[in-house]
Chain A
Amino acid sequence: MLGEGIIKGMAETARNFLGSYVSDDRLTTVQYPEERTPQFENARQFPFLVFDGSDPLKGLRCVACQICEKECPPKCIYIVKSKDKRPDYKGQMQLYPVTFDIDLSVCMSCQICVEVCPFESIKMDTAYELSTSDRFGGLLVSKPQLAKPNDHYRKIHPTDAALSDAALAAEVAKAQAKARADAEAKAKVAAEAKAKAAAPNPVAPVVAIA
């Protein structure tokens, strides 16, 4: 019959209306500033730069390769390379960023900068209350604000941080093994050269005599 569905629907909404006063389980709203839901591990908001050690600016892993700057879709990263070099975590001499700015108002949280970085140096942060009352300077996040310790990364994304640490450790181990092998090879060459120099040459005198 016409109108039956309307009556049923009205009953349903009335049930919801009254039910929401009776049982709090129905209300799914989280009262935000006072209540918060726990964050998911893979939540992401805005990039930060990882540093090792204790000095934020000296320990930055970033080597100013500018891959992220080129790949960022809305082009919100700005990097100025250094003139000098300094050793990175492997002890290799590398450039470092003198300026590293990200425009908060432009970044779209796509995480592409993180995906392309070959040095595990830029990662996504989970902080989401990023509003500021200064809409020009306050929205341009610079190097000192971006630099965060590796422990912070371990805390917010434990799984990813473990993988990243393992990858870096493997690189360091490989570099050390290579250095050791190089050193051994060098030592061997040197030893041979020494031995050659020390041992009397049976031919030479002959030549010399001749």
Chain B
Amino acid sequence: MTGLDQVFVTLKHWLLGQLANILPNGLLPVVSVLLSIAAIIMVFASLFAIMTIMERKGLGRIQNRYGPNRVGPFGFLQPAADGIKALIKEDLVPRAADQVVHLLAPVMLVVPALLVYAVLPVGRNMVAIDFDAGLLFFFAVGAASELAVFMAGWSSRNKYALLGAMRAVAQMVSYEIPLILSTVSVVMLTGTLSPVKIVEAQAGHAGWLPDWFVFTPWGFAGFVLFMIAANAEANRSPFDLPEGESELVAGYFTEYSGFKFALFFLAEYLSLFAVSGLGITLFLGGWQAPFAALDFVPSWAWFFVKLLGLIVLFIWTRGTLPRLRVDQLMNFAWKFMLPLALINLLTAAVWHYMPPGMPRWLVGGALVVGPYLMLGRGLMAGKHISKRTYRYAE
């Protein structure tokens, strides 16, 4: 069991041992870091390829289409064809664009998207840097993507790009707050900012439920808030206003073509995986198995199974929900998610100080459901939601 669980860790140690014979001692830490980076890039870039084909096929089925089904068996080699196409396409840069910034923006977007993986524990002992303030690092680096998005929109000298970038910044700044606030309750209860320790805090089982934070009232509310905010951070439907095809061509990356365009997509999906991975780490028990009986499955497998589950959820919501309006987006962030996230801090505190048992569940549940219902009513107040009727189309 430990053999398979630690197979990648042992592999890395073995490689380093071999290299120690031929390399000077000073270089070994650098090589060790490079090995981790290579693994992260390979794994998550191939996950990107897998997700694009899953998404296209899934959305197709949701809309009663086949989706791509020509390249390779059942179309599963479509990402390869897409990649080759992106590589050999002409790279167009508008003459009026700010050449340097225009070139830097996609790179600036991919780099933080990859950096955040450094602190993500994808399995037992499998984290590039076991960093005490990992969570802080994650959000600090992740916030750099807003800058890159605005660089792309501003340097393109295109009205759609600029509008998209402004929407993106407004949206990302608004949703960053509930995103971070929903994680604060986890930090409060575990008393650490280190993702590795947070995962360890969720080991064990309470009855038939694992000790994951999502199985507590505050954890569940926090998880839902976190996922909604993550969806908005990743600019995915229903929060895809910054790149709404029907309004802004492609939003802030309208003026990009060829491989730079692909880089934007890569960065978007990478940050989606990263933020989902963080959600798994914080609320879904990280790489822990749900039942003790399933412990024989390697820890990294559990992480990726959970990640795939969240990806399916993201695709499903994308296939279901229509895009919000800008005012609805802002109302939702500031009038609904922010108060709920604040109340959730209180719920977490109450949960922590009450003794285990039924009353704790009742109080915690009430503190989650009550504000949800009231704030939901507040959000819908003054809106006449009725069945829409159409004059001509029926």
**Chain A residues at the B interface, C-beta cutoff of 8 Å:** 1-3, 6, 9-10, 12-14, 16-17, 19-21, 26-29, 31
* B14 at the A interface (CB under 8 A): no
Q: Is the CB of A10 within 8 A of B317?
A: yes
Residue in chain A with minimal CB distance to B380: A2
Bound together, the chains give a CA A191 to CA B98 distance in angstroms of 95
Q: Is the CB of A21 within 8 A of B61?
A: yes
A20 CB contact (under 8 Å) in B64, B317, B375: B64
Residue in chain A with minimal CB distance to B377: A2
B320 CB contact (under 8 Å) in A2, A6, A19: A6
Bound together, the chains give a CA A26 to CA B63 distance in angstroms of 9
Q: List 15 A-B contacts (CB under 8 A).
A: A1-B373, A1-B376, A2-B373, A2-B375, A2-B377, A2-B379, A2-B380, A9-B321, A13-B62, A19-B64, A20-B65, A27-B64, A27-B66, A28-B65, A29-B66
* B334 at the A interface (CB under 8 A): no
10 more A-B residue pairs beyond the given contacts A17-B62, A27-B65, with a C-beta to C-beta distance below 8 A: A2-B376, A2-B377, A3-B376, A6-B321, A13-B62, A13-B316, A17-B58, A17-B319, A27-B64, A27-B66
Chain A residues positioned under 8 Å from B65 (CB to CB): 20, 27-29
Per-position binary interface string of chain B over residues 52-72, scored 1 when its CB falls under 8 Å from any chain A CB and 0 otherwise? 000000100111111000000
Measured CB to CB, the closest approach of chain A to B352, in angstroms, equals 27
Interface centre among A3, A10, A17 (most CB of B within 10 A): A17
Per-position binary interface string of chain B over residues 365-381, scored 1 when its CB falls under 8 Å from any chain A CB and 0 otherwise? 00000001101110110
B contact face: mostly helix, strand, loop, or mixed: helix
Chain A residues positioned under 8 Å from B320 (CB to CB): 6, 9-10, 12-13
Measured CB to CB, the closest approach of chain B to A19, in angstroms, equals 8
Bound together, the chains give a CA A10 to CA B65 distance in angstroms of 17
Interface centre among B62, B373, B379 (most CB of A within 10 A): B62
> By the criterion of a CB under 8 Å from any partner CB, how many residues of chain B are at the interface?
19
- Indicate whether A16 sits within 8 Å of B62 (C-beta atoms), given known contacts A1-B373, A1-B376: yes
Chain B residues positioned under 8 Å from A14 (CB to CB): 316
Q: Is the CB of B63 within 8 A of A16?
A: yes
Residue in chain A with minimal CB distance to B318: A13
Chain B residues positioned under 8 Å from A13 (CB to CB): 62, 316, 319-320
Bound together, the chains give a CA A20 to CA B58 distance in angstroms of 11
Bound together, the chains give a CA A26 to CA B66 distance in angstroms of 10
Measured CB to CB, the closest approach of chain A to B307, in angstroms, equals 20
Chain A residues positioned under 8 Å from B58 (CB to CB): 17
Bound together, the chains give a CA A3 to CA B376 distance in angstroms of 8
Closest 7 CB pairs of A and B: A2-B376, A13-B320, A9-B320, A20-B61, A26-B64, A17-B61, A13-B62
Q: Is the CB of B316 within 8 A of A10?
A: yes
Interface residues of B in 360-394 (CB under 8 A from A): 372-373, 375-377, 379-380
Chain A residues positioned under 8 Å from B321 (CB to CB): 6, 9
Residue in chain B with minimal CB distance to A15: B62
Interface centre among A1, A9, A12, A13 (most CB of B within 10 A): A13
Bound together, the chains give a CA A20 to CA B66 distance in angstroms of 8
Chain A residues positioned under 8 Å from B319 (CB to CB): 13, 17
Chain B residues positioned under 8 Å from A26 (CB to CB): 64
Chain B residues positioned under 8 Å from A3 (CB to CB): 376
Chain A residues positioned under 8 Å from B62 (CB to CB): 13, 16-17
Q: Is the CB of A28 within 8 A of B64?
A: yes
Interface residues of B in 305-332 (CB under 8 A from A): 316-317, 319-321
Bound together, the chains give a CA A19 to CA B63 distance in angstroms of 10
